[in-house]
Amino acid sequence: MKILVLVRHAKSDWGYEFLNDIDRPLNERGYRDAYQLSKWYAEHYTSPDRMITSPAIRAISTALIFSRTLKYNEQDILIRHGIYNSTTDDFLSVTHSVSNDIKSVMIFGHNPIITSISNLLNKNFYVDNIPTCGIIILEFNTDRWEKIGQIKANKIEHQFVK
């Protein structure tokens, strides 16, 4: 059994015109939502075996908040460029690179790819747009990460900001 948790980064701050997209921080609502949803996740699930994030500041910040709430060692968060401005193949490549001894992975990324991957990997849940800080939990009946994408999730849960 493999569990893939997709988290879209929390709301970012567009108030800094001079910043490159990758350097945009979270705004106040983003911090609030990340704490709220990380607490929800901690109440319902155990900490993932692996956290992977995009190199964008807003994704890293969201991952750090989740790691603190879930008591996951922040030094173990992996930063992967294949999640930022990625294609489906790039994103799946990151997923496929996870060691098969890891049972659960939480990936912090961006739209539109988070929504696209969610819709690609499941057969019973379609969403037009995963909102900022939205969480999609996909469970796969396999023992190999390389199978993700070839098979669909057999269980899907989600949580969005209320």
Please state the domain extents for the chain: 2-13+23-159
How many Cβ atoms from other residues are within 10 Å of residue 55's Cβ?
14
pLDDT, tens digit (0-9, with 9 covering 90-100), for 7-35: 999 999 998 889 999 999 999 999 999 99
pLDDT, tens digit (0-9, with 9 covering 90-100), for 90-114: 999 999 999 999 999 999 999 999 9
How many Cβ atoms from other residues are within 10 Å of residue 113's Cβ?
21
Q: What is the DSSP letter of 132?
A: T
Percent of the chain at pLDDT > 90 equals 91
What predicted TM-score, i.e. pTM, was given to this entire model?
A: 0.96
In this structure, which CATH number among 3.40.50.720, 3.40.50.1240, 3.40.1280.10, 3.20.20.190 belongs to the domain 2-13+23-159? 3.40.50.1240
